[in-house]
Amino acid sequence: MEMKPKNLWKHVYASGYQHHATIPTIYSTNEDEDESVVYIKDLKKRKEVYGICGECNKPGTGENWCRPCNAERFKRNFKNWTSGNINIDEFIQYAQLNAIHYYRCLEWIPFEKFQNITYIAEGGFGKIYSAKWPEGHIEYWDIENQKWYRYKNYEYVLKSLNNSSNISSDFLNEIKSHLQIYLYDVVTCFGITQNPNTKEYMMVLRYCENGNLRNYLNKSEYYIGYGLKIDKLQQIARGLLDIHNAGFVHKDFHSGNIVHNTYDPFISDLGMCQPVSKQTTEIEGVYGVLPYMAPEVLRRHRYTKAADIYSFGIVMNEFLSEEIPFNDIPHDEFLAVKICKGHRPKISKVVPKLLTDLVIKCLDAEIKNRPTAKEVYQTLTKWNDEKYDKTSELHSQIKECDKIREKKFNRSSEDKSINTQSHPQAIYTSRLLQFKNLPKPVNSSVLFNSDINYTNQLTSANTCKMLRCSIKRIGTK
C-alpha cells in the first residue's frame, strides 16, 4: 500500500523571513536557479526556516511552498485555462512556474467567479472596485488532501487601468512590479481577470477595509497615540526599503497609495514604479500629486530614491499631525514655486520633537541631506523599541504630546468635516504636471507654514548633527 505524503512544513513566524534581501527577481537573466528564485539561498537555512516538502523531501522555497513540485502542478494545469490572450497566458504561466511563495503566484480568474462587485473610486490612471471571491486565492498545496488550500470568502480589490482592454505594457509592468518586490508590506496581487462588458483587464489585489491612510485616521473611533504611529510608520518605511532594495523607485508615493487593513498599513499602486536605471536625466512632464512631490522632480529632474524619501516625509507629517498637506490652497504652479522656495506643510506643535526632526530631514531641499530608506527604517525601528523605555527622551516626549492631544481628541462628524475640507482646486489624484522655469530648490529660513516656533531648523547644525548621530548609533551594514 502506497504511503500518503505527510505535511512536514514548519510554522513560520514573521521573524523567520529574510527581510530586505537584495536579490535578483524572477525576471532575472541569472542562470543560477538558486540565485534567481529564492530568498534564502542556503539549503540548510531553508530547511530550518520552512521545513521540507513531503513529496520531494527537499527544503521549501517559502512558507508551505515547494517551487519545483508546485511548478509541475501548475504546468499540468495549463491546458485547463486560458485568458484568451497569449501575452497574458504566458505572463501568468511564467509567474506560476517561478513562484516561491503564494505572494508571487498569479492566477487567471474568470470574472464570473466574483460577486458583489462594487465601485469604490477612480484615480489618476484607472478605476477601483471591491468584490467577493468565494473560492479565494491559493495559499499552499494541501499535501494530505492533495488539493490547493484557498483562503475563502475574502474580499478583494479589482483594479483596472485606463485603456487596459488593449493590454498596454503599463498594465503588465505594474503586475510585474508586484512580483519583483518582496511583498511583506506591499499590497499583494493575486491574479488577473477581465470585465466581459468593458473588455478591460483588471488586477486582483488584497482588499484593505480601512481604505487609505487618510480614511484610516478619519474612521478611527479611538485615539491613535504616537507610539502606535511610530510602529505603523516603521512598517511603511520597511515597504519602501523593500522597493528600493529591489532597485526600484515608487514615483507616486502619497497617503492615497498607502492602504490599511484591520491592523497594518500596506504600500499600493505600483503603476509608476520603475527601475532606477530606467530613469531619464530630464523629462517633459511629471505625474503625481503635487503636495507630495519633491522640488527637484517638479523641476523635471531625474527621479531618485531620495524623491521617494521626500514623499515619505510628507506622508509621515500628515500621519503625525493629522493635517492634509496644502488642502486650503490651489495645487497650481504658484504652489510649485513656493515648494521650490522651501514652503512645506504645517507640523503640529504637539508632534514629538525627535519625530519632527526626522520629517524635516526627509523634506530637505538638498537631495544629499535626506536620509536613505534604510536609515529611516532603522531610526523608526530603534524608536519603536525606545518608546517603551521610561528613561528615554522619546518616551517622555511621546507621553507629554499624547497627554495634550488626548485631551483634545474628539471624533465628532463635525470635527471630521472641518479637518477634511479642501480647496476646490486642491487635487489629490495623480496627474500630468508640466511646470516650467521653476526656481532652484532651497530651504526656507523659516520652517514651513507651521504653528511651531522652530526657525532655521533645516540649516541648523545642531538638528542635523543630532539626527546623524541617531542614525550612526543604530549602525549600517
List of domains in the chain: 8-206 (3.30.200.20), 221-409+428-447 (1.10.510.10)
pLDDT in tens, the chain (477 residues): 566 777 778 776 554 444 333 333 333 333 333 333 335 667 888 888 888 999 999 998 888 999 999 999 999 999 999 999 898 998 999 999 988 888 888 999 999 999 999 998 876 567 889 999 999 999 999 998 999 999 987 899 998 876 666 665 667 777 777 676 655 788 888 999 999 998 889 999 989 999 999 999 988 888 999 999 999 999 999 999 988 988 889 999 999 999 999 889 999 887 666 666 555 545 567 889 999 999 999 999 989 999 999 999 999 999 999 999 999 999 999 999 999 999 999 899 999 999 999 999 999 999 999 999 999 999 999 999 999 999 999 999 999 999 999 887 754 444 454 455 689 899 998 888 989 899 999 998 555 444 444 333 444 434 444 444 444 444 443
List strands edge to edge, sheet with 154-161: 107-108, 189-194, 201-206, 154-161, 126-133, 115-122
Enumerate the β-bridge partners of residue 248. 275
Whole-angstrom Cα distance, residue 207 to residue 129? Answer: 10
Name every residue whose Cβ is closer than 8 Å to that of residue 465 and which is 6 or more positions away in sequence: none
Task: Find, among 130, 203, 212, 211, the residue nearest to 170 by Cα.
Answer: 203
All cell numbers assigned to 96: 506560476
Whole-angstrom Cα distance, residue 190 to residue 220? Answer: 28
Whole-angstrom Cα distance, residue 76 to residue 96? Answer: 11
All cell numbers assigned to 77: 494545469
Beta strand residue intervals within 66-220, DSSP E: 107-108, 115-122, 126-133, 137-142, 147-151, 154-161, 189-194, 201-206
Are 252 and 269 in contact by the 8 Å Cβ rule? The answer is yes
Task: Give the gyration radius of the chain's Cα atoms.
Answer: 23
Overall pTM > 0.75: yes
All cell numbers assigned to 95: 509567474
Q: Helix 353-362 crosses helix 373-386 at what angle (to 10 degrees)?
A: 170
> So what's the pLDDT on residue 48?
84
Are 326 and 317 in contact by the 8 Å Cβ rule? The answer is no
Whole-angstrom Cα distance, residue 61 to residue 103? Answer: 12
> So what's the pLDDT on residue 23?
34
Amino acid of residue 19: H
Whole-angstrom Cα distance, residue 410 to residue 415? Answer: 7
Are 143 and 7 in contact by the 8 Å Cβ rule? The answer is yes
Amino acid of residue 225: G
- In order of 123, 184, 367, 460, the CA distances from 455 in angstroms are 37, 39, 21, 9
